[in-house]
Amino acid sequence: MADPKKLVEMLKTLEDQLVTCMRCGMCQAQCPVFAQSGREGDVTRGKIALLTGLAEEMIKDPDGVNNKLNRCLLCGTCEANCPSGVKVTDIFLRARAVMAAYTGMSAAQKLIFQKLLTNPGLFNTLLDIGSKFQGIFTKPVDDILGTSCARFNAPIIGDRHFKTLAAKPLHADVPSLDTPAGVSKLRVAFFPGCVVDKIYPSVGHAVLKVLKHHGVGVYMPKGQACCGIPAISNGDVASFQEMVKKNIELFRKGDFDYLITPCATCTSTIKKIWPTYYEDKSDQVALAKIVEKVKDVSAFLVDVLKVSPTDIPGTKTVTYHDPCHLRNSLGVTAQPRTLLQATPGVKFVEMTDAASCCGSGGSFNLKFYELSQEIGRKKAQHVIDSQAETVATSCPACMMQITDMLSKAGASRKVRHVVELYADAL
């Protein structure tokens, strides 16, 4: 559909939101992409002005605007600090959908979003093959996985120091679970998310160990689909619908008090993006139930199970990186720190700018690898300067990025999920 008139028409639907930006420019203090490039087109104000220009037919080149629009980590920092309350994430996701409809998606993107991520069985098989052959089987895997959620292509491309695909994904070890509530009298649904499942199964195992320890029953249905963020952030609204639908079908069958994820991005996607973008009206009741119950694992442990700091001083220094999707969109910052302080043996130290973005941003890292690296290097330096032996965080995508950046900096620091450290000490 390359009809410019249609594009303008679709962009006009965003007008009521675009106009709320008062162009004060205060987002220049927040945006990690702008901090790197210093270009107005990269900051929120610039992107909004460009979309407005396009909608008002002042700008003629949609591809140029699209390129700027994509230079965004969707980290939400600007939105959380915008004096005018501009709904930035919403504007950008909708604009990306409009752009995708206008420019069309690449064949690789279509394959990933429409075939793979909506079809967990096929996706898993492919990744299983990928994990066995990674290294030999470069090109096709690269193309297929290239634009997906959290850079599953990682180990394959030249100079990236990524964590490789796990030899055995979580779902191979634990295909499903349905255990009754224990001493806590609670039962939770467990949504590990793609990255934990395929790259950091140890995080998934840690969550299950912790839940068992606290006597929490687990409902973990087989065949969970992706949370949908890679699709919607690339403008593929239709695939997003399918992914969410699959998950709703699975989770509506379970009986649980909370839905737990160890992935900041999945948590915020389910909480904030699902209710706004999922369209099927007949599923609204089931959807509302899930949305209401979703919780980050550390928030669950601290707020619900009342895990609290120990008095025994630890010796293992650990610092914490705030994933944007927990901090900016959900305001979860205290609970992961409390969990670390509740972990025997851990001595928690704060790093400078713990809240600054690591530069991962899902497929941003793939499209703008250099920029992503520059942003990540700053984060790595803060970790190094903190002198901590270990950096903990709450999002597997951040873990990948920070691992990559630290290893490039030649720093031997461990990168762990807060729940892994807590589980280790049980």
Partner 1 sequence: MTAKALIKDFEAIVGKDNVLTSEADLASYSYDAAVLPNAMPGLVVRPTTSEQLGKTVKLCNDNAIPMTVRGSGTNLSGGTIPSTGGIVVLTTALNRILEINEEDLYAVVEPGVITSKFAAEVAKRGLFYPPDPGSQTVSTLGGNVAENAGGLRGLKYGVTKDYVMGMTFFDVNGELVKSGGKTVKCVTGYNFTGLMVGAEGTLGVYDTITLKLVPPPAAAKAMMAVFDTVMDACRTVAAIIAAKIVPATLELMDNFTIRTVENFRKAGLPTEAQALLLIEVDGHPAMVEEDAAKVEEICKKNKAASVRVAKDANERNAVWQARRDALPALAKVKPTTVLEDATVPRSKIPDMMAALDDIAKKYNLTIGTFGHAGDGNLHPTILTDKRNTEEWHRVEAAIDEIFDRALALGGTLSGEHGIGMAKAKYMKQECGIAAIEYSKRMKSVLDPKGILNPGKLIVG
Ligand X SMILES: Cc1cc2nc3c(=O)[nH]c(=O)nc-3n(C[C@H](O)[C@H](O)[C@H](O)COP(=O)(O)OP(=O)(O)OC[C@H]3O[C@@H](n4cnc5c(N)ncnc54)[C@H](O)[C@@H]3O)c2cc1C
Return residues touching ligand SF4 (CB under 6 A): 21-27, 30-33, 44-45, 48, 72-78, 82-84, 86, 88
Q: Which is nearer to ligand X, 37 or 138 (CB)?
A: 37
Report what 44 binds from ligand X, ligand SF4, partner 1, none; CB cut-off 5-8 Å by kind.
ligand SF4
Smallest distance, ligand X to C-beta of residue 65, A: 23
Q: Which residue, 19 or 167, is less far from ligand X as judged by CB?
A: 19
Which of residues 20, 103, 176, 202 is near partner 1 by CB under 8 A? 20
Does 29 bind ligand X (CB under 6 A)? Our answer is no
Of 273, 264, 323, residue with least CA distance to 297: 264
* Least distance in angstroms from the C-beta of 342 to ligand SF4: 31
Return the one option of ligand X, partner 1, ligand SF4, none that residue 76 interacts with (CB less than 5 to 8 A, by type): ligand SF4
For 168, which DSSP code?
A: S
Residue 296, phi then psi, degrees to nearest 5? -65, 145
Between 65 and 405, whose beta carbon lies closer to partner 1?
A: 65
Q: Which stretch binds ligand X (CB under 6 A): 20-28, 109-117, 177-185, 221-229?
A: 20-28
Tell me the closest approach of the beta carbon of residue 43 to ligand SF4, in angstroms: 6
Cα separations in angstroms, 372 against 3, 24, 141, 341:
32, 26, 22, 31
Residue 74 or 149: the one with the smaller Cβ distance to ligand SF4 is 74
- What secondary structure letter does DSSP report for 117? T
Contact 112, 42 (CB under 8 A): no
Residue 233 CA to its chain's centroid (Å): 11
- Nearest CA to 305 out of 296, 314, 315 is that of 296
Cβ of 61: how many Cβ atoms within 10 Å? 10
Residue 24 binds partner 1, judged by CB under 8 A: yes
Q: Is the Cβ of residue 25 or residue 64 nearer to ligand SF4 in the bound state? A: 25
Do the beta carbons of residue 216 and residue 186 sit within 8 Å?
yes
Interactions with partner 1, residue window 71-100 (CB under 8 A): 83-85
Give the strand pairing for 216-220 and 177-178.
antiparallel
Query: Applying CB under 6 A, what is the total number of residues that bind ligand X?
Result: 3
- Are 415 and 399 a contacting pair, CB within 8 Å? yes
The residue count for binding partner 1 (CB under 8 A) is 29
Distance CA 325, CA 302 (A): 18
Nearest to 305 by CA among 218, 210, 418: 210
Report the residue number whose CB is nearest to ligand X: 24
Classify 222 as helix, strand or coil: coil
Q: How far apart are CA 412 and CA 408, in angstroms?
A: 10
Tokens of 97: 């959908």
Nearer Cβ to ligand X, position 4 or 25? Answer: 25
Task: Please identify, using beta-carbon distances, which residue of 33 and 346 lies nearer to partner 1.
Answer: 33
CA distances from 299 to 59, 262, 264, 417 (A): 45, 10, 11, 14
CB of 39 to ligand SF4, least distance (A): 12
Binds ligand X by CB under 6 A, chosen from 24, 122, 411, 426:
24
Q: Is 4 in the site for partner 1 (CB under 8 A)?
A: no
Contact partner, 39, from ligand SF4, ligand X, partner 1, none, Cβ < 5-8 Å per class: partner 1
Task: Choose from partner 1, ligand X, ligand SF4, none: what does 88 bind? Cβ within 5-8 Å by kind.
Answer: ligand SF4
Residues within the interface to ligand X (CB under 6 A): 24-26
